[in-house]
C-alpha cells in the first residue's frame, strides 16, 4: 500500500474530526447529555463511520468516505427543551428514514420533489445563528480568537480543508499557554487512561420532537451531506453506490442513535481528499483509502476520552468561535444553493428567515416550520404562474 493512501486517509480523518467536534459537543450540551452520554455519542459515531466506510469501500471497490452530519449537529445544537432520550428517538427516526429512502424508491422520489432552493434555505437558516455568534466570541476573548481567525484566513488561502484544524491547533496552544484553559480531567495520565464506553439510551418518542427534530435532521442530512457526497464520487469518475450507501448509513445511524449518536452520512469535502491522483495514480485502487480512513476513525473513537478531556477544558468562547469558523463553508454553500434559482429565491428567503428565527410552535422546532413555510410560499408562486 502506498504511503500516499495512508497520508490522504489520515488528513481526511483529522480534518473531519478536528473541524467540527466542537459542534458535536455543543449539540450534546443542547439536549442535556451527561458526560458519559456525550462520550458514548462520539465513540458510537466514530465506530459507525469506521464500519460504514470499510464496508462500502470493500464491497463497491470505490473510495467511500463517511462523515457525521455537520448541519445535523448544528440543527441539534439549536434546539431547546428536548431531553437526551427524546433526541435519541429523533436520531433513530432520521436513520430509519435515510435507510427507507434507499430501500423504497417512491420515498426517494418524494424527497426529490422538495425544491433545492427551499432545502438550502432551511440549512442556511440552521447555520446562520452559529456563524453570527463568532463575532461575540471574538469580543469576549480577543487575545485567543483573533489569532485563530487570522490563521484560519491565511491557511484557507492555501488549503481550505485544513483551515479549521489549524485554527483549532493554535487555539489549544494559546488557551493552555495563557492559562485560560481548565485543567483537563484526570490530567490525562496515559497508562491509566480509561477506554471509551457505549451507553445505551432508551428512546422516548414525542411526536413534536420527531417532527421538529427527526424529520429536519433527515432532510438536512440528505440535502447537505448525502447528495453532495454522491456528487463528489461522480465528479471523480466513480459510480456512486446510492442505494447501498443510503441503506448502510441509515441502518448504522439508527443503531448508533441508540447510543446517543446523531446521523452518519456520505462525506463530500473530506471525501475529495481521498479521491484525487495524489492519493493513488490508479483510480481503481483508491478504494483502499476508504479502508485506511476507517481504521483511523476507529482509532479516534478509542482515543476519544483523551481528546474530549482536552477540548472540554477550552474556554466556552473559544469553542463558539471554532464552531462559527467551521460552519462558514457550509453556510456559503447553503446560501449559494438557496438563491441560485430565481424561481425559488423568495420561498428560500422565507424558509431561511423562519428557520433562523428559532421560534417554535406547538413544541415543534423552527427548522420544520421554515420548511413548511417555504413549501407553502413556493406552492402559491406556482399557482400564480
What is the sign of the dihedral through the CA atoms of 310, 68, 347 and 370? negative
pLDDT at residue 185, as a whole number: 46
Contact present, 324 and 129 (Cβ < 8 Å): no
DSSP string covering 68-134, please? E-HHHHHHHHT--S--HHHHHHHHHHHHHHHHHHHH-HHHHHHHHTS-HHHHHHHHHHHHHHHHHHH
What domain range is 331 assigned to?
3-189+196-384
What are the counts of helices (DSSP H) followed by strands (DSSP E) for the chain?
18, 2
Q: How many domains does the chain have?
A: 1
Other beta carbons within 10 angstroms of residue 185's beta carbon come to 15
| Angle ∠(92,94,99) on CA atoms, nearest 5 | 95
pLDDT tens per residue, the chain (385 residues)?
677 788 788 878 887 888 788 889 999 999 999 989 999 999 999 999 999 999 999 999 999 999 999 889 989 998 888 999 999 999 999 999 999 999 987 766 766 677 888 888 887 887 888 889 899 999 999 999 999 999 999 998 988 877 888 888 898 899 888 888 776 544 333 344 567 889 999 999 999 999 989 999 998 898 778 887 887 787 778 888 889 999 999 999 999 999 999 999 998 767 877 887 877 788 888 899 999 999 999 999 998 888 888 877 888 888 888 888 887 887 888 888 889 889 999 999 999 999 888 887 766 778 788 888 998 999 898 887 6
pLDDT at residue 192, as a whole number: 44
pLDDT at residue 120, as a whole number: 83
Residue 336, judged by CB atoms within 10 A of its CB (0-12, 13-18, 19+), counts as exposed
Cα-Cα-Cα-Cα torsion 50, 25, 23, 16, nearest 10 degrees, comes to: -20
Nearest to 9 by CA among 307, 275, 227: 275
C-alpha cell read off for 301:
473513537
Contact present, 201 and 344 (Cβ < 8 Å): no
C-alpha cell read off for 307:
481528546
DSSP string covering 159-193, please? -HHHHHHHHHHHHHHHHHHTT-SPPPGGG--GGGP
DSSP, collapsed to helix, strand or coil, labels residue 34 as coil
Amino acid at each position: 500500500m502506498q504511503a500516499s493512501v495512508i497520508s490522504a486517509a489520515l488528513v481526511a480523518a483529522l480534518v473531519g474530526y478536528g473541524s467540527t467536534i466542537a459542534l458535536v459537543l455543543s449539540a450534546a450540551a443542547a439536549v442535556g447529555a451527561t458526560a458519559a452520554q456525550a462520550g458514548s455519542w462520539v465513540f458510537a459515531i466514530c465506530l459507525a463511520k469506521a464500519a460504514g466506510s470499510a464496508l462500502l469501500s470493500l464491497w463497491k471497490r470505490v473510495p467511500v468516505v463517511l462523515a457525521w452530519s455537520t448541519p445535523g449537529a448544528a440543527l441539534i445544537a439549536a434546539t431547546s427543551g428536548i431531553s437526551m432520550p427524546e433526541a435519541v428517538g429523533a436520531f433513530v427516526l432520521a436513520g430509519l428514514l435515510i435507510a427507507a429512502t434507499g430501500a423504497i424508491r417512491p420515498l426517494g422520489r418524494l424527497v426529490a420533489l422538495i425544491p433545492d432552493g427551499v432545502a438550502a434555505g432551511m440549512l442556511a437558516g440552521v447555520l446562520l445563528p452559529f456563524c453570527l455568534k463568532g463575532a461575540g466570541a471574538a469580543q469576549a476573548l480577543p487575545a485567543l480568537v483573533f489569532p485563530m481567525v487570522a490563521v484560519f484566513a491565511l491557511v484557507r488561502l492555501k488549503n481550505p480543508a485544513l483551515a479549521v484544524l489549524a485554527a483549532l491547533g493554535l487555539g489549544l496552544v494559546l488557551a493552555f499557554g495563557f492559562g485560560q484553559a481548565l485543567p483537563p480531567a484526570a490530567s490525562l495520565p496515559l497508562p491509566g487512561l480509561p477506554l471509551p464506553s457505549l451507553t445505551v439510551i432508551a428512546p422516548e418518542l414525542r411526536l413534536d420532537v420527531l417532527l421538529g427534530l427527526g424529520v429536519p435532521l433527515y432532510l438536512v442530512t440528505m440535502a447537505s451531506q448525502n447528495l453532495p457526497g454522491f456528487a463528489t464520487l461522480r465528479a471523480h469518475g466513480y459510480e456512486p453506490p446510492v442505494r447501498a450507501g443510503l441503506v448502510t448509513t441509515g441502518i448504522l445511524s439508527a443503531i448508533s442513535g441508540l447510543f446517543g449518536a446523531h446521523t452518519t452520512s456520505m462525506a463530500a469535502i473530506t471525501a475529495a481528499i481521498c479521491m484525487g491522483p495524489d492519493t493513488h495514480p490508479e483510480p481503481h485502487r483508491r478504494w483502499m483509502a476508504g479502508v485506511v480512513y476507517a481504521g483511523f476513525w476507529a482509532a479516534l473513537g478509542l482515543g476519544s476520552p483523551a481528546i474530549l478531556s482536552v477540548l472540554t477544558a477550552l474556554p466556552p468562547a473559544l469553542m463558539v468561535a471554532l464552531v462559527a469558523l467551521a460552519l462558514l463553508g457550509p453556510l456559503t454553500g447553503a446560501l449559494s444553493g438557496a438563491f441560485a434559482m430565481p424561481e425559488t429565491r423568495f420561498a428560500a428567503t422565507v424558509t431561511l428567515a423562519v428557520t433562523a428565527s428559532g421560534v417554535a410552535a406547538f413544541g415543534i422546532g423552527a427548522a420544520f416550520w421554515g420548511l413548511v413555510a417555504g413549501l407553502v410560499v413556493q406552492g402559491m408562486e406556482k399557482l400564480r404562474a
